[in-house]
Amino acid sequence: MVAGLGEFTLRTGDGFGKPVLDESNGEELMHVQPSVAVVLGNRPVESPGTLYITSRKLIWLSDVDMAKGYAVDFLSISLHAVSRDPEAYSSPCIYTQIEVVEDEDDESDTESTEVLDLSKIREMRLVPSDSSQLDTLFDVFCEGAELNPEPVEEEEGESGHNWVFNADQMDVIGGVEEDAEWSISQSPTSVIGHSNGDEGLAQPMLELQINDQRFEDAEEMVHDSETKNH
């Protein structure tokens, strides 16, 4: 796994020149978009090419230069957006920002056209010749990003990905506890001493509240004195 943008030259030898994926590790091809130009940073646009979106990364392969290709892991893509503003770029495109590992010794111009260090590229635009495909591409990018969260030790909610579009949507895995907590917090004005059903904890905590004001947050003391009279 490469951090940031890198070269990608592994193509299948069957003449079609598709990218070789890491299928043994579950990498799958999600979408192919032909006729896409790529713009790395401030460099001149490169085309024609084909964009391959896999479950792990973005791959752009030149249609004319079989040795030219770029790839970036979704893990390194900080944000992506549909850019239709002609002031930002002449053609509608997908704008992406790539997370770059800062090198303390690096003083050179990161956008220099002399020596191309792909790992220092921070912005990449993908310009499909068919701009009606932009929204589809944006959605596939979202899917790819969602499939690649930061690797964590343990995850609570594994069963599917749940986007919430409005506050009414509360049917999320792992969200059940959260709902209960929000509704509880509406009633008691001071939550210190109130535990979620573990009565064994309640008594000693209540005593703490009454007898040990030094355990309160400084600002809480003001609020508590106001709300205790409720």
Question: Which residues contact another protein by CB under 8 A?
Answer: 77-85, 87-89, 95, 97, 99, 122-123, 138, 141-142, 145-146, 149-150, 156-157, 161-167, 169-170, 172, 174-175, 177-179, 181-182, 185, 191-192, 195-196, 198, 217, 220, 223
Q: Report, in Å, the least distance between residue 67 CB and another protein.
A: 29
Q: Of 61 and 93, which CB lies nearer to another protein in the complex structure? A: 93
Q: Report, in Å, the least distance between residue 92 CB and another protein.
A: 10
| Sequence-ordered list of residues with C-beta below 8 angstroms from that of 17, at least 6 positions apart, any chain | 11, 61, 66
User: Phi and psi dihedrals of 192, rounded to 5?
Assistant: -65, 125
Residues 93/99/102/108 CA torsion (nearest 10 deg): -10
DSSP secondary structure letter of residue 166:
S
Q: Of 24 and 132, which CB lies nearer to another protein in the complex structure? A: 132
Q: Report, in Å, the least distance between residue 141 CB and another protein.
A: 7
- Report how far residue 93's alpha carbon sits from residue 36's, in angstroms, rounded to the nearest whole number: 10
- Report how far residue 29's alpha carbon sits from residue 7's, in angstroms, rounded to the nearest whole number: 18
- Report how far residue 187's alpha carbon sits from residue 184's, in angstroms, rounded to the nearest whole number: 6
Q: Of 7 and 224, which CB lies nearer to another protein in the complex structure? A: 224
CA nearest to 39, candidates 95, 86, 78: 95
Token pair listed for 95: 């704008």
Q: Of 63 and 117, which CB lies nearer to another protein in the complex structure? A: 117
Token pair listed for 220: 């809480």
Q: Of 12 and 112, which CB lies nearer to another protein in the complex structure? A: 112
Q: Report, in Å, the least distance between residue 101 CB and another protein.
A: 12
Q: Report, in Å, the least distance between residue 26 CB and another protein.
A: 19
